[in-house]
């Protein structure tokens, strides 16, 4: 059974799309990793802005296919009618995509983030009644500090799908505990996100020598989760300590960018902090190889891929003890702070010395053994086999 090639239908709630190019990129990496051994067909539908007509994108590679449908956003003056229209459109679009797969020997259905993919998943299970169902959950909405697991529709579909699943894969022990507190009983397994170890790796040619501490942060720049105000306050503390530094913030958040930039101006840090906006993975790898330390002061997290990408580049990580991050950072590869207070973080950064951490090569080898596409493919395949 271990060498059996499966035909996996990947149903996704999040996936890169015209509105959010990085959204769910970790799900796509799971799909690509599994295609090293299995045939994977990805199905994803979403409404997007600035679109007049539906757009169907079909990509085919060896063992990997994508069926992506993007359609214009729907709106109605009455919210309850608007929500009903959106629900029906999403369900109908997914059903049409699944129907277009007729003849494919689907034996495994893998849902990635339960809602709203649970809606087409229940249809897919009727279409392929012999298929085994697996779920990978990434969503932080189950956490008490997030609190977005609520509402009749969401909870009903979630409970129905969980009841049919052979197993649920989670990216942090905290997420498993949070789901269980909502009475979502299942066979849970911890898995790893994928790091692109061909792209994220040490590159000595990128490094610039200097006395200025180069600090990097990459995220959605969402205050509620990523605590950008805390990062800016830490920069202010470093400035007060007369520590030579420069902070680069990579990410695009149109609804909060102005707030962050006003905060930078209020602290008179304009010459110390750069907002780059969205960057491609290739560009981010370059920034990581030109930086001294990666900083993350989040209020809550799961298992952020960006941490493993930084470690793969040999970039030490300083972060708060949230989600799975402590387990992700071996001794000598970073520092997990006791709090997210700017004073504590600034004190650690002020004493930064690269010689206190493992070599870039050892950090890269650690990530390759644990988070490479090959390693994660083997990990998930073994779990498929346990439950088959």
User: What's the pLDDT score for residue 84?
Assistant: 85
Residue 359 near residue 314, CB atoms below 8 Å: yes
Share of the chain above pLDDT 90, in %: 85
CA distance 308 to 94: 33
Segment 40-55 shows an average pLDDT of 94
Segment 153-181 shows an average pLDDT of 96
Query: Can you give the pTM of this predicted structure?
Result: 0.87
Q: What is the pLDDT confidence band of residue 257, given thresholds at 50, 70 and 90?
A: very high
User: What's the pLDDT score for residue 209?
Assistant: 62
Q: What is the pLDDT confidence band of residue 1, given thresholds at 50, 70 and 90?
A: very low
For residue 186, the SS3 value is coil
Does residue 43 have a pLDDT over 80?
Answer: yes
Q: Which tens digits make up the pLDDT trace of 65-101?
A: 999 999 998 776 677 777 888 889 999 999 999 999 9
CB atoms within 10 A of CB 7: 17
Residue 158 or 80, more confident: 158
User: What's the pLDDT score for residue 217?
Assistant: 98
User: What's the pLDDT score for residue 211?
Assistant: 86
195-209, 221-235, 278-292: least confident range = 195-209
Q: What is the pLDDT confidence band of residue 206, given thresholds at 50, 70 and 90?
A: low
User: What's the pLDDT score for residue 50?
Assistant: 87
Domains defined along the chain, listed by start: 7-194+372-386 (3.40.50.2000), 204-370 (3.40.50.2000)
User: What's the pLDDT score for residue 244?
Assistant: 96
User: What's the pLDDT score for residue 207?
Assistant: 66
Report residue 12 as tokens. 């996704």
User: What's the pLDDT score for residue 27?
Assistant: 97
Q: What is the pLDDT confidence band of residue 195, given thresholds at 50, 70 and 90?
A: very high
Does residue 223 have a pLDDT over 80?
Answer: yes
b/e per residue 111-143 (b: at least 16 CB within 10 A):
bbbbbbbbbbbbebbebbeebbbbbbbbbbbbb
Q: Which tens digits make up the pLDDT trace of 286-339?
A: 999 999 999 999 998 888 999 999 999 999 999 999 988 999 999 999 999 999
The mean of the pLDDT values for the chain is: 94
Q: What is the pLDDT confidence band of residue 145, given thresholds at 50, 70 and 90?
A: confident
CA distance 64 to 307: 27
User: What's the pLDDT score for residue 295?
Assistant: 98
63-77, 232-246, 254-268: least confident range = 63-77
């Amino acid at each position: 059974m271990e060498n059996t090639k499966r035909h996996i239908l990947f149903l996704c709630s999040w996936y890169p799309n015209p509105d959010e190019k990085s959204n769910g990129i970790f799900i796509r990496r799971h799909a690509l990793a599994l295609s090293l051994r299995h045939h994977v067909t990805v199905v994803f539908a979403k409404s997007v802005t600035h679109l007049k007509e539906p757009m169907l994108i079909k990509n085919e590679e060896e063992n990997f296919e994508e069926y992506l449908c993007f359609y214009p956003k729907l709106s109605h003056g009455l919210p309850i009618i608007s929500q009903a229209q959106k629900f029906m459109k999403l369900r109908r679009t997914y059903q049409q995509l699944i129907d277009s797969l007729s003849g494919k020997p689907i034996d495994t259905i893998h849902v990635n983030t339960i809602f709203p993919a649970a809606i087409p998943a229940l249809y897919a299970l009727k279409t392929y009644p012999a298929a085994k169902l697996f779920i990978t959950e990434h969503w932080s909405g189950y956490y008490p500090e997030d609190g977005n697991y609520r509402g009749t529709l969401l909870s009903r579909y979630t409970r129905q799908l969980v009841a049919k699943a052979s197993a649920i894969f989670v990216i942090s022990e905290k997420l498993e505990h949070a789901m269980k507190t909502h009475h979502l009983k299942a066979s849970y397994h911890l898995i790893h996100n994928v790091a692109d170890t061909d792209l994220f790796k040490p590159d000595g040619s990128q490094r610039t020598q200097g006395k200025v501490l180069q600090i990097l942060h990459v995220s959605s720049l969402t205050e509620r989760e990523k605590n950008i105000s805390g990062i800016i306050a830490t920069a202010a503390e470093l400035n007060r300590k007369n520590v030579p530094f420069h902070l680069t913030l990579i990410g695009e958040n149109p609804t909060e960018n102005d707030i962050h930039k006003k905060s930078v101006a209020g602290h008179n840090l304009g010459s110390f902090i750069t907002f780059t906006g969205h960057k491609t993975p290739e560009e981010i790898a370059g920034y990581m190889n030109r930086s001294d330390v990666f900083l993350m002061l989040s209020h809550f997290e799961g298992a952020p891929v960006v941490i493993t990408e930084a470690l793969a580049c040999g970039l030490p990580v300083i972060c708060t003890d949230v989600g799975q991050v402590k387990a992700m950072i071996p001794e000598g590869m970073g520092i997990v702070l006791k709090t997210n207070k700017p004073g504590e973080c600034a004190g650690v950064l002020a004493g930064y010395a690269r010689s206190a951490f493992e070599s870039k090569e050892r950090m890269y080898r650690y990530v390759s053994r644990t988070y490479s596409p090959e390693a994660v493919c083997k990990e998930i395949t073994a779990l498929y086999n346990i439950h088959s």
